[in-house]
Amino acid sequence: MSVFVSNTLYSFLISFGVIVGASSFAGIGALINNQPPLKTMIDLAQSVKIWAVATALGGTFSSFQLFEEGVFRGEIVLLIKQIIYILSALIGANLGLKFIKLFQKCGELWIK
């Protein structure tokens, strides 16, 4: 597998893992504090999405610096790669949120 494909996969899975992991531990914390765990998990997953993307990209400044080089120095390939990495991280974060919301849907089906 090429370096580009593996880095794209890493971006996706890291952002997905940040959302799912943070939400899971927030759910455990909500149980300990006698709060509704699913609501806490979903609220946290929505607020952590941008941080998951920043984590997956390895920090926002290096990503924006590479983005700037692509725009101002005319390196289109570098610019396209950065856009794909960012989109991959965004898709991973959104899919992580959908995965957490799936728990809520499964709970509703289970109760009925």
Percent of the chain residues topping a pLDDT of 90: 54
Euclidean distance between CA atoms 53 and 34, whole angstroms: 30
Percent of the chain residues topping a pLDDT of 70: 88
110 burial level (CB within 10 Å; 0-12, 13-18, 19+): exposed
Is residue 69's pLDDT more than 60? Answer: yes
Local confidence band at 3 (pLDDT 50, 70, 90 cut-offs): confident
Is residue 34's pLDDT more than 70? Answer: yes
Structure tokens at 20: 């799912």
Angle at alpha carbon of residue 69, lines to 66 and 75, rounded to 5°:
105
